Structure 1
Amino acid sequence: MDVPLLVAVVVLTALAFDFTNGFHDTANAMATSIATGALRPRVAVAMSSVLNLVGAFLSVEVAKTISGGIVDDLKITPAVVFAGLVGAIVWNLLTWLVGLPSSSSHALFGGLIGATWIASGASAVHFGKVIEKVLIPAVASPVIAGLIAMAATYLTYRLTRTADRKVVSSGFRIGQIVSAGLVSLAHGTNDAQKTMGVITLTLITAGALPSNAGPPVWVIISAGTAIALGTYFGGWRITHTLGKGLTTIDGPQGFAAQTSAAAVILTSSHLGFALSTTHVVSGGILGGGLGRRASNVQWSTAGRMVLAWVLTLPAAAVVGAIASSIASRGTAGVIVVAAVGIIVAAGIYLASRRKPVTPDSVVNDELSLEPLKVAA
């Protein structure tokens, strides 16, 4: 395949991944606000999409980590990046189908690592950087967010136990709207940059940009727009899991969870750590539940989430590796991978229509937890 045409295909695929990242991770910012009634679902996703777009312009440190830190840009081709993106998209869609808030970020890293490893060998993967910038933050960030949220929730209930309930409820409603906005802004600064990094990496491998270059302005705009559009469509399946299926949430818990998550994500974005906003927000929600009453936590749902977290990187890596072994064979290989990816995506979408999850069902809790295990 002609290199410019292949680059265009990879850029479009990267933006498609960014779109799935948006609707997959909408729940990270808005699940608690929707669950407590602080924001109506459609208003919440509209607000989140705008702030995701704004956040995409605040930093490029994470994008530089992706484009110049995870894999050796001198040892891969645009076809390899394309294969990695396919692996990430397939995993994102599968976990969305079953309503599990897994990490879009780790799906992307796994897809890239698997595709690069099979195409150019283990030496083309910077495992030291993977451990430093991906794996350590993956373990530490939800724990930190959870501890902060647990302490904040406990203190909040202690300090407001004698206050007027209506005043407290009104105050935390406003606080939740502000904190949800901060999480959306933080999500844009971290997750939108991952797609910027992938597109920049593709341009570097094609010789259109020098090694270690930052993302051009058009890349920042397109990546920010794609994740904002995906966010607006709303990931109602995962919103239901985080807002209703993990723990019962009221105003103080939601505020504590969102504020702790926003603080961790914004700090990490500044430092260039490409962490998972899903892990951070889930940790914050769990911490909020523990800070109020441990029995509120649905540990079976939490266990399924953790299992998905553990499987995300290797599963996406396997799909990326398979796709890379085919795509690296030339134009025909790229076409085959693209065709199979489209068929799988269409099949997952059709399966999702058998039991749709709507904004109304998220608010009214019409779904039980059991269907979400298999078909939500």
Structure 2
Amino acid sequence: MSNAQLILLDKRNQPLKEYLVAVAASDGLNIKGVEVMASPAKGEKSLLNANIYIPPLEKFDYNPKKLAVESLTKLTIGEEIIAIEAFIERCSEDEAVRAALKKSLARFTKNLEKLIKTFCDSDVIPLIQESRNDALFKLKNHAKDLKGKNIVCIDIEATNISTDPEADIIQVSACDINGKELFNQLINPGYDIPENEKHNITTDMVQGEPSLTEAWDQIHDTLLNADIVLAYSTESDFMYLEKSAEKKLLRFELDYNTWLDAAELSKDLIGAMRWHSEKMYWFFKTPKLTHAYEVILEKPFPGDAHDALADARATVDLFNAMLEKGTQSKVEEKKPKKKQEQITNNPFAALAQLK
């Protein structure tokens, strides 16, 4: 007979912080210092330890039991991910020790559920749920309002980020709401393209391609004639076009009010919540296009994430999938609370209530 047992260790230097709850709500989280230890007997050296993984709370409906079951399939030893059954097998070749560890698993799981429950009971969880409901309601309305509209989805690759005044456009691509290509144009900036991890476009690739001035009319007018211009991060794409037009003295009649940002919608729908420690407020982190696509469509991102046409088509697929989620949701607009009527015999007070 063995006295071996599984013990939940919590060796954190400080209590659970709300920002950890928020991260786990969307991303899943390994917390340093929270481990499972296989102990051969009280006071004896551990047989084996593994780190505990807290799964994404939303994915498992904030249910501690479901989360604990998932957590036990993803223990980590160094870089290796291992399930609790394999962990027990690895602890010892002694069948009595293994049997004792298995016997203690139910109690260990209960303790793990209690730990996870502290995440699920956090005051921040209702904020997350409210944001998701608001996002679904917004998407539900978009699905109704955008029917029959001419929607053009655009993506731009450039030599640097949009806030850099020296950045130049080197690819502009657009497709319709069904992913049909409207244009896919490489742009020759007139100089050697510096290497940049944000795109894969080289100087050789743009040789013989038009300058932005030569390609401008098709790009500008396609966007101008759209009812809605869709993009993933509209602010940067609009800024590229506006600054380029100003720099090259090109006509510019685009209205940012007709642009719709798929990144903002995905942020509200699946973005991970973060705590801004300096400014002391919660915010949702905007997911990358590749991440949003894979989470919402539940399949790998197609093609090259640094090609403008591939990104535009992926944005359309993502947007249509989000609209579908909004349409299928049961969420309704929150009705404003009715003001409670106050009964009074004072005619002047009664008159004031009517104002």
TM-score normalised to the size of structure 2?
0.26
The structure in which a higher percent of residues are strand is 2
Computing the radius of gyration from Cα coordinates, the structure with the larger value is 2
The structure in which a higher percent of residues are helix is 1
